Structure 1
Amino acid sequence: MNFSVQSILENKEYQLIPLQQGDFESLYEVASDPKVWEQHPNKDRYKREVFKNFFEGAMESKGAFKIVDKATEEVLGSTRFYDYNEIKNSIFIGYTFYGVKSWGKSINPQIKKLMLDYIFQFVETIYFHIGKENMRSQIAMERLGGRKIAEEEIAYFGEPTRTNYVYKIQKENWI
């Protein structure tokens, strides 16, 4: 890989800062609300021990970020790059979540735009795994121009497999 999946990315309002071990508590504070996980494949991630496993997977991915509001320095959630494939010239974006108070404020499209604009400098294709029951994320993905291309069972870090849809955005289709 001749690029970093952990560069600080930012626009006027938000920053994506590479996740560090010391970020656990501030991120868990956001993740500890059961509503955050209602439509996600693992609905128990609001539990400390389950989230601890999720956080461990984020750290091991070496592509995870905390999402920060620049004005308040508040942690809003997390996202990551993962599964870079040099042969297919592709990467995944996912494992994204936001606290409930960030919902409906057009934060996710701004964060995804930051990530897509950055990573399309290095790859031709970006994939996303979206939980089969996660209607909010499916709608968000379609608004971004993602195309549903498959359904597959995905084994999340330290968790059982879950049914996910695979979405795809090609560089030539990105605005």
Structure 2
Amino acid sequence: MNDWMLESIMLEGQRVLLMPVTEEDVEDIVQVSLDPRIWTFMPISGTESEIRSSLQQSLSDREKKVAYPFIIIDKLTNRVIGSTRFLNAHSEHHTVEIGWTWFIPPYWGKGYNEECKLLLLNYCFDELKTIRVGFTAAEKNTWSRTAIENIGAKFEGILRNIVIRHDGRRNCAIYSITEEEWPETKTGLEKLAKEKFKMKQII
């Protein structure tokens, strides 16, 4: 079950490169991810020890075939700019989720998230043959929810008091893209990423 999680998956776009997180990457990721703005609505509060522990846990989860963490690299600078994961994969149901996605603030709103999601979704629908890809965001995280909606995911509803995080109890907004929706969604996402890359530059 989920044997693909033990494979070395590299996803490459115009501006971003997604590589499997390794032990050697952990400290590099920690050092670029200490800006507290990154962690406001994430499952952890973003202390150095928490980030390191979370990354180590993600490596363990990959060995257990329950998650697949990626490091996100800016191809133009070879700089580590974020991380993302596949999680909650169910091969018997052909479903998977994309989550734990974050970028360092200079890369927010400039097309990198859109291209990252395009690469991940292409892999899900073309290689894994999934029929549904899910996304979850804190109800109050309007930035993340807008980003999810912009890539074409459909809102499914709110799960109330579903988790307890560092900031207390949370409601979570649930989104998804289905196999039937993907061709049209893909076209829109490709266009959106290109438009953002043309309009905005990293300073």
Would you call these one fold, judging by a TM-score over 0.5? Answer: yes
Deviation at 1:155, TM superposition (A): 6.8
Mapped to 2, the partners of 1:154 and 1:127 lie a distance apart of 17
Contact persistence 1:68–1:76 (CA under 8 A): yes
CA distance in structure 2 between the aligned counterparts of 1:155 and 1:88, rounded to whole angstroms: 27
Distance in structure 1 (CA, Å) of the matches to 2:171 and 2:51: 20
Matches within 5 A, 1:23-62: 23-38=25-40, 40-42=41-43, 44-45=45-46, 47-62=47-62
Is residue 84 of structure 1 aligned with residue 89 of structure 2? yes
Distance (whole Å) between structure 1 residues aligned to residue 147 and residue 19 of structure 2: 22
Q: 3-state SS of the aligned residue for 2:149?
A: helix
CA distance in 2, matches of 1:73, 1:41: 25
Unaligned runs of 5+ in 2: 63-67, 187-203
Which residue of the partner structure matches residue 69 of structure 2?
A: 64
8 A Cα contact 1:82 1:92, kept in partner: yes
What is the RMSD of the two structures over their aligned residues, measured on CA atoms? 2.3
TM-score w.r.t. structure 1 length? 0.88
1:164 and 2:172 correspond? yes
Q: Computing the radius of gyration over CA atoms, which structure comes out larger, 1 or 2?
A: 2
2:65 aligned residue:
none
Q: Which has the higher helix share?
A: 2
Provide TM-score, normalisation by structure 2: 0.76
Does the 8 A contact of 2:156 with 2:175 survive in 1? Answer: yes
SS of residue paired to 1:138: helix
Contact 1:41–1:162 under 8 Å retained in 2: no
CA contact (8 A) 1:58 1:64 kept: yes
Q: Secondary structure at the match of 1:95?
A: strand
- TM-aligned CA deviation for residue 147 of structure 1: 1.3
Q: Structure 1 pair 85/154, CA: closer, same or farther in 2 (3 Å)? A: farther
Change (3 A) 1:161 1:91: farther
Is contact 1:125-1:170 (8 Å) kept? yes
**Which of 89, 95, 98 is equivalent to 1:93?**
98
Indicate if the aligned counterparts of 2:21 and 2:70 stay in contact, CA closer than 8 A.
yes
Distance 1:124 1:132, change over 3 A: same
Q: Within 2, Cα distance between the matches of 1:131 and 1:41?
A: 8
Is there any run of 5+ residues in structure 1 with no aligned partner, and where?
none
Q: Letter of the aligned partner of 1:80 in structure 2?
A: R
SS in 2 for 1:23: helix
Q: After TM superposition, which residue ranges in structure 1, 4 or more long, deviate above 6 angstroms? A: none
